[in-house]
């Protein structure tokens, strides 16, 4: 399956900042190897998982290669979204030792994190595949990795929620405490956004759900509802709006929640509690 990558500008910016963080004023460690040494190398996975981050690794080695006026050739054996077994070779590469050593940790850090995000997303998505519910990400992403992690969610079989505060509205508890009525806030949100843009209301009770439906909300988030209340909400709502379950979502609970009949389940843990996939870069010097 093809997934839409973030723009080249986004990928370039992240890599540039990550390399600056690691290399700083210069890589003093790489001097331990002869300047003209050539490396044949590979990236392998130490565990089963979903791969994500090919374009970022390519950009890491493009940038460090450019600094050294050297080209690093990479032959990928996988693509983003592929599921690999422990011991799988993801790519082979060759080039000058200095730039490869300088880019090694940055390349692995990014790919491990994005692959970890894609892997846990796949586990969650597979757990609800027998239902109509779809898995959503949230804005609870690692700092500066929003676009990259949301791409990883797509690679793992999830669906992107809004990217940020600029492309959709979720009316939450703190908005409802502003003094305006729920009905007025919903109406203002709907009229302020283009047709088809996300306008969602978060509710904590069945009574708020019913008020939201009367106000015209077309997507409603059920925040920390019990299973019984979720089933009641599904029965009340029918085809009037899409329902999204949120709160208390983990691998032990997600299937049962999906079976209540909700349309979406959102989880912050797939991006904020991500565990990096165990990858290694192995070298042979010529």
pLDDT in tens, 155-182: 999 999 999 999 999 999 889 888 889 9
SS3 content of the chain, % helix, strand, coil (to 5): 40, 20, 40
Q: Which CATH class is domain 8-124+274-285?
A: alpha beta
CA atoms within 13 A on the CB side of 266: 25
The rounded distance, in Å, linking the Cα atoms of 126 and 276 is 19
Residue 223: active-site member = yes
Instruction: Give the pLDDT of residue 36.
Output: 85
- Given pLDDT bands bounded at 50, 70 and 90, which one contains residue 128? very high
Per the residue annotation, which of 67, 79, 172, 211 is the catalytic one? 172
**pLDDT (tens digit per residue) in 48-61:** 999 999 999 999 99
Per the residue annotation, which of 22, 204, 223, 278 is the catalytic one? 223
Per the residue annotation, which of 59, 80, 202, 244 is the catalytic one? 202
Residue 202: active-site member = yes
**pLDDT (tens digit per residue) in 230-286:** 999 999 999 999 999 999 999 999 999 999 999 999 999 999 999 999 999 999 998
In this prediction, residues 178-189 reach a mean pLDDT of 93
Per the residue annotation, which of 12, 79, 140, 211 is the catalytic one? 140
CATH architecture for segment(s) 130-272: Alpha-Beta Barrel (3.20)
Residue 42: active-site member = no
Residue 172: active-site member = yes
The rounded distance, in Å, linking the Cα atoms of 18 and 20 is 5
Instruction: Give the pLDDT of residue 2.
Output: 56
Strands 89-96 and 38-45: antiparallel
Instruction: Give the pLDDT of residue 235.
Output: 98
Intervals of CATH 3.20.20.70 along the chain? 130-272
Instruction: Give the pLDDT of residue 76.
Output: 98
pLDDT over 80 (residue 142): yes
Residue 66: active-site member = no
When the pLDDT of each residue in the chain is averaged and rounded to a whole number, the result is 96
- Given pLDDT bands bounded at 50, 70 and 90, which one contains residue 35? confident
Intervals of CATH 3.90.1170.20 along the chain? 8-124+274-285
In this prediction, residues 86-92 reach a mean pLDDT of 98
Hey, what are 224's tokens?
């920390």
The rounded distance, in Å, linking the Cα atoms of 79 and 1 is 10
């Amino acid at each position: 399956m093809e997934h839409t990558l973030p723009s080249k500008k986004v990928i370039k910016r992240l890599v540039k900042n990550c390399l600056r963080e690691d290399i700083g004023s210069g890589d003093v460690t790489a001097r331990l190897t002869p300047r003209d040494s050539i490396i044949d190398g590979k990236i392998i996975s130490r565990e089963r998982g979903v791969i994500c981050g090919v374009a970022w690794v390519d950009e890491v080695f493009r940038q460090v290669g450019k600094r050294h006026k050297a080209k690093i050739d990479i032959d990928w054996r996988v693509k983003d979204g592929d599921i690999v077994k422990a011991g799988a070779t993801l790519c082979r590469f060759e080039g000058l030792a200095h730039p490869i050593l300088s880019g090694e940790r940055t390349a692995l850090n990014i790919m491990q994190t994005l692959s970890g995000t894609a892997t846990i997303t796949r586990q969650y998505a597979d757990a609800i595949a027998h239902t109509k519910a779809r898995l959503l990400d949230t804005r609870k992403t690692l700092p500066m990795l929003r676009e990259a992690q949301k791409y990883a969610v797509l690679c793992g079989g999830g669906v992107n929620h809004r990217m940020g505060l600029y492309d959709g509205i979720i009316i939450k508890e703190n908005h409802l405490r502003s003094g305006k009525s729920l009905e007025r806030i919903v109406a203002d949100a709907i009229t302020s956004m283009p047709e088809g843009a996300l306008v969602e209301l978060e509710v904590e009770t069945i009574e708020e759900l019913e008020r939201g439906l009367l106000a015209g909300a077309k997507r409603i988030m059920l925040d920390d509802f019990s299973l019984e209340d979720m089933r009641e909400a599904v029965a009340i709502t029918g085809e009037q709006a899409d329902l999204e379950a949120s709160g208390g979502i983990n691998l032990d609970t997600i299937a049962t929640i999906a079976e209540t009949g909700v349309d979406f389940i959102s989880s912050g843990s797939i991006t904020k509690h991500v565990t990096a996939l165990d990858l290694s870069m192995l070298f042979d010097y010529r």
